[in-house]
């Protein structure tokens, strides 16, 4: 049994100075690819399921598949995390199903479309955190709205996000507000808005500081040095994967993602969880397209999915190595939820702002 909480894992990542990719899961092949990569590199794992993934596969299927890989890969600590929870009910049902971490994304209202007020975000995130911590489960919050600084568009592509155009203020997390938010809600990790957005179409050119605001992570890290920051929309959309997709009948206009070296800079500024879904989708779909084009007579689904799984495994190995996650799994002994609950109850895991910078 190696299920770990997000908090314990990211505390370890902070101590050792590495980041952990959080890969989205929907099916068996994705889970196996991630776990095979983790074994090859001795990396701890975050598997995250969106509301869409839970609806697609069903909670029983998701949690039983995760139980299966815990038995198959007993040496790998696995955190099962709810991605972009939109309400208390979503977070609490994930906890009931066995998730060890939930994201309460109160930057948007429960419709996952309307930008929420700060008070709404504080209140709902605080409520979820109080209940989750009572049973030892970790909570990720979000402050600021994810979206493009080039277009002002929100995170609409995956069905989660605002339809209209957001102001630059809404698109960048305010570092002073982050101090207030984290100390009042006691979240374990904070997703920040800094110009990243979900999906393939993040930037129209290789991003610089104008459109990818790494300085936001740096400013929050100065004020809250122990806080674990989360970068959403962190697929790199590698040119090789765009080319694979397009060379095999795909139609993806030229696009740019978050360069791996920017994520590595982020890790130095306290980014500990790096959310990646688009790259995983693209790696697998590109290979499915390739098989379909090269072997039009093939109808054994496994012949499509095996090379797709291998392509995702390769991507995951690269990210585990690039983020410093490789070599860390064997150093971690997962604590039970009951032990985490005791530590929260004793206020041992409360946030602590850097006193000299808190008012800066």
Ligand X SMILES: O=C(CO)COP(=O)(O)O
Ligand Y SMILES: O=C[C@H](O)COP(=O)(O)O
Q: Which residue has the tokens 């991507």?
A: 315
Q: Supply the minimum distance, in Å, between the C-beta of residue 1 and ligand X.
A: 26
Nearest residue to 148 (alpha-carbon basis) of 53, 41, 257, 236: 257
45 DSSP β-pair partners? 78
Question: Which of ligand Y, ligand X, Zn ion, none does 105 bind, CB closer than 5 to 8 A by kind?
Answer: Zn ion
User: Binding of Zn ion at residue 100 (CB under 5 A)?
Assistant: no
Binding positions for dihydroxyacetone phosphate are: 199, 233-235, 275-278
* Structural contact between residues 217 and 262, judged by C-beta atoms closer than 8 angstroms: no
Alpha carbon 35 to its chain's center? 16
User: Binding of ligand Y at residue 158 (CB under 6 A)?
Assistant: yes
* Structural contact between residues 272 and 13, judged by C-beta atoms closer than 8 angstroms: yes
Of 29-37, 127-135, 229-237, 346-354: span binding ligand X (CB under 6 A): 229-237
Question: Which of ligand Y, ligand X, Zn ion, none does 107 bind, CB closer than 5 to 8 A by kind?
Answer: Zn ion
Choosing from 5, 8, 24, 185, the residue that interacts with ligand Y (CB under 6 A) is: 24
Choosing from 50, 107, 242, 328, the residue that interacts with ligand Y (CB under 6 A) is: 50
Q: Which of 42, 83, 169, 208 does the annotation list as catalytic?
A: 83
Of 29-37, 126-134, 275-283, 325-333: span binding ligand X (CB under 6 A): 275-283
User: Binding of ligand Y at residue 37 (CB under 6 A)?
Assistant: no
User: Binding of Zn ion at residue 107 (CB under 5 A)?
Assistant: yes
* Structural contact between residues 86 and 51, judged by C-beta atoms closer than 8 angstroms: yes
User: Binding of ligand Y at residue 52 (CB under 6 A)?
Assistant: yes
* Structural contact between residues 245 and 282, judged by C-beta atoms closer than 8 angstroms: yes
Q: Which residue has the tokens 């090269």?
A: 294
DSSP, collapsed to helix, strand or coil, labels residue 89 as: helix
Binding positions for Zn(2+) are: 84, 105, 142, 198, 232
DSSP, collapsed to helix, strand or coil, labels residue 95 as: helix
How many residues bind ligand X, per CB under 6 A? 14
Q: Supply the minimum distance, in Å, between the C-beta of residue 191 and Zn ion.
A: 7
DSSP classification of residue 254? -
* Structural contact between residues 1 and 75, judged by C-beta atoms closer than 8 angstroms: no
Alpha carbon 271 to its chain's center? 11
User: Binding of ligand X at residue 277 (CB under 6 A)?
Assistant: yes
DSSP, collapsed to helix, strand or coil, labels residue 277 as: coil
The overall longest dimension of the chain from CA atoms, in Å, is 68
User: Binding of ligand Y at residue 277 (CB under 6 A)?
Assistant: yes
Q: Supply the minimum distance, in Å, between the C-beta of residue 100 and ligand X.
A: 17
Annotation marks residue 300 as catalytic = no
How many residues bind ligand Y, per CB under 6 A? 11
Q: Supply the minimum distance, in Å, between the C-beta of residue 48 and ligand X.
A: 7
C-alpha span between 335 and 9 (Å, rounded): 10
C-alpha span between 49 and 30 (Å, rounded): 11
Choosing from 30, 41, 81, 83, the residue that interacts with ligand Y (CB under 6 A) is: 83
C-alpha span between 93 and 99 (Å, rounded): 9
Binding site for ligand Y (CB under 6 A): 24, 50, 52-53, 83-84, 158-160, 198, 277
Residues that bind ligand X (CB under 6 A): 24, 83-84, 198-199, 232-235, 275-279
Binding site for Zn ion (CB under 5 A): 105, 107, 142, 232, 275
């Amino acid at each position: 049994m190696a299920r770990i909480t997000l908090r314990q894992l990211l505390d370890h990542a902070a101590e050792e100075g590495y980041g952990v990719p959080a890969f989205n899961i929907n099916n068996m092949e994705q889970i196996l690819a991630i776990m095979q990569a983790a074994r090859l590199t001795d990396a701890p794992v975050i598997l995250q399921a969106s509301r869409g993934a839970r609806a697609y596969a069903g909670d029983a299927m998701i949690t039983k598949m995760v139980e299966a890989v815990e038995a198959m890969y007993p040496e790998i600590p696995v955190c099962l995390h709810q991605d972009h929870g939109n309400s208390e009910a979503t977070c609490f049902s994930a906890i009931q199903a066995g998730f060890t971490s939930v994201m309460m994304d109160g930057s948007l209202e429960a419709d996952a479309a309307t930008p929420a007020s700060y008070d709404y975000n504080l209140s709902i995130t605080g409520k979820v955190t109080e209940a989750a911590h009572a049973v030892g489960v970790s909570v990720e919050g979000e402050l600021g709205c994810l979206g493009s600084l080039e277009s002002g568009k929100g995170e609409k592509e995956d069905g989660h996000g605002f339809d209209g155009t957001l102001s630059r203020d809404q698109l960048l997390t305010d570092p002073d507000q982050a101090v207030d938010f984290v100390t009042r809600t006691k979240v374990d990790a904070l997703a920040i808005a800094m110009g990243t957005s979900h999906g393939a179409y993040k930037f129209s050119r290789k991003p610089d500081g104008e459109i990818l605001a790494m300085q936001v992570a740096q400013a929050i890290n100065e004020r809250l040095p122990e806080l674990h920051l989360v970068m959403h929309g962190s697929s790199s959309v590698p040119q090789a994967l765009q080319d694979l997709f397009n060379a095999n009948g795909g139609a993806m206009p030229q696009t740019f993602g978050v360069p791996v070296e920017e994520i590595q800079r982020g890790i130095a500024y306290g980014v500990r969880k790096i959310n990646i879904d688009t790259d995983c989708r693209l790696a697998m779909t590109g290979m499915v397209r390739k098989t379909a084009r090269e072997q039009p007579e093939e109808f054994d689904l496994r012949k499509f999915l095996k090379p797709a799984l291998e392509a995702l495994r390769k991507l995951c190995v690269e990210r585990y190595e690039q983020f410093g996650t490789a070599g860390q799994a064997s150093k971690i002994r997962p604590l039970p939820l009951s032990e985490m609950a005791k530590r929260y109850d004793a206020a041992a895991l409360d946030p602590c702002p850097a006193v000299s910078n808190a008012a800066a």
